[in-house]
Structure 1
């Protein structure tokens, strides 16, 4: 892949350089202790949905750990946000893998290409690094990311302005158990239990076995206490649907997204979209896993929308659905496993 950056980013970087003496700020770095926290930057107030916490994973993808993590998240109907490192993404994953992650309901953001401390970099170098990573994500996902997370949480006004010129806001965190230091899992859980609140953002890394154990404990404990796990809204591109559909051609597997899941009268309702270039006029089958086996729960409209209703007797625990591949024999596309959103009475 050719590495380049947009001229607009360089123009802004040059302007920022001229004012770098006043624009800089002390980077917010993580204290080397499992009890310490770092938000890595302010959180958007709109992220603080009642009863919802956000799992985030940096530095992937990994050929082994990331797929295992996706399966674990499905087990709990949980959605997460992933910040892959550009150099890892370039060498380890292709378009099918990133589309699978997105179709399951997760979000993707920019974590730079080379994982360097950005406040120590020339603004032009920051622009080049972030833009290279965004270009790579766009080549696989079809859209440029709308959020970024600076390596080490090391960002300031200059870094944020460069990122803004590339269409991204910074995604910080509120809890960092620093599992890369191999802490004891019970200590991590005690720490995270004390840090959970509406809109909590937990920082983990999909490159260690320990992360899988911590994630499993968090998902089990938090879900049992009535919490839901959602992707960061700021990491959802407004053009995701259009841009992902544009990546599909004959023979490609479908893409899609469940946009909402809610309960009414005991039944689970799921609405979203799915597209297969081999059935571009609609009519794509959406299947659900029920107690009696897979059933065709709905089909897409000519606009590629679907509205699936799962009967009350089958709507126990996360409901998994998928889009049946209409083209040459490859595989169906998972649209993830889902719990109903919390109603007003359940929200914390």
Structure 2
């Protein structure tokens, strides 16, 4: 009996080795097919391949409004503009702040109408939700949003497909300030300036405790390093996915 078990174990080991060797052969000899299989998942844009030192800073606005005007004033001081992703219910509560953001030259984009978990919604529900938020933003700013940041940073293939079916682009981030965790201003600053690279998209929140304190130092440091600040619509590459650009497995948008 022991000899039979040993024989079977050897056969299984040999089979496993053969399968591993076959997999290695396939990946080495057919790398494009292997890459395609790994990247079939639909991804939003997390960052952009850029040779120039460009960075886009963004703010999510879903609840409070304590610091919006201060953030506008800080960025006005440095003559830079950012992208604000706002929830429709936030537009309902603070239309004057939405208008102030737009009047100051900042992009006001879509963060959903009700901050729902979009992966739990049908395609029709997602489209209706985003259109409701778009309508509210356009009514205040006169500009219809073209970018979406899904609430909670959550998405799946059907969420991304629903967004793109509307002619909109889903946007994530590659640098998270973690300001919502109430980190100190110095911790936020170090996190951001140490992680930014050309083409980065940075995530902040408009009502985080220490963001207004951290923002001037972040801006000054990156300006000294030669970075130019642009809104997200100016850092992403134009055109059609698959024709003019691709999005790799990390969410980096790359020119074709």
TM-score norm. by structure 1 comes to 0.52
Alpha-carbon distance, 1:220 to partner: 2.2
| In structure 1, distance between residues paired with 2:47 and 2:181 | 29
| In structure 1, distance between residues paired with 2:102 and 2:212 | 20
**1:77 maps to what in 2?**
79
Q: Output one character per residue of 1:258-297: Cα deviation in whole Å (capped at 9) or x when no partner.
A: xxxxxxxxxxxxxxxxxxxxxxxxxxxxxxxxxxxxxxxx
Q: Contact 2:174–2:202 at 8 Å: present in 1 too? A: yes
Q: Output one character per residue of 1:70-127: Cα deviation in whole Å (capped at 9) or x when no partner.
A: 0000111111000011101111114xx4344224221111000111221122222222
Higher relative contact order (CA 8 A, sep 6+): 2
Q: Contact 2:65–2:207 at 8 Å: present in 1 too? A: no
Q: How many residue pairs end up in the alignment?
A: 198
For structure 2, the 5+ residue unaligned runs are 1-39, 239-256
TM alignment of 1:232-243, pairs within 5 A: 232-233=232-233
| In structure 2, distance between residues paired with 1:191 and 1:44 | 17
Q: Contact 1:146–1:169 at 8 Å: present in 2 too? A: yes
| In structure 1, distance between residues paired with 2:176 and 2:214 | 12
| In structure 2, distance between residues paired with 1:111 and 1:42 | 15
> Structure 1 residues 182 and 43 mapped into 2: Cα distance closer, same or farther (>3 Å)?
closer
For structure 1, the 5+ residue unaligned runs are 1-23, 27-39, 239-348
Q: Does 1:42 align with 2:45?
A: yes
| In structure 2, distance between residues paired with 1:164 and 1:82 | 20
Q: Contact 1:126–1:159 at 8 Å: present in 2 too? A: yes
| In structure 2, distance between residues paired with 1:235 and 1:198 | 10
Alpha-carbon distance, 1:193 to partner: 2.1
| In structure 1, distance between residues paired with 2:118 and 2:41 | 12
| In structure 2, distance between residues paired with 1:235 and 1:108 | 15
> Structure 1 residues 199 and 220 mapped into 2: Cα distance closer, same or farther (>3 Å)?
same
**2:56 maps to what in 1?**
54
| In structure 2, distance between residues paired with 1:60 and 1:54 | 20
**1:200 maps to what in 2?**
200
TM-score norm. by structure 2 comes to 0.69
Q: Output one character per residue of 1:211-267: Cα deviation in whole Å (capped at 9) or x when no partner.
A: 21122221122122222211112699x9xxxxxxxxxxxxxxxxxxxxxxxxxxxxx
Q: Output one character per residue of 1:136-171: Cα deviation in whole Å (capped at 9) or x when no partner.
A: 111112232111000121112211222123221011
From the two aligned structures, give the one with the greater strand fraction.
1
Q: Contact 1:76–1:223 at 8 Å: present in 2 too? A: no
From the two aligned structures, give the one with the greater helix fraction.
2
Residue 110 of structure 2 aligns to a residue in which SS? Answer: coil
Q: Say which one has the larger Rg.
A: 2
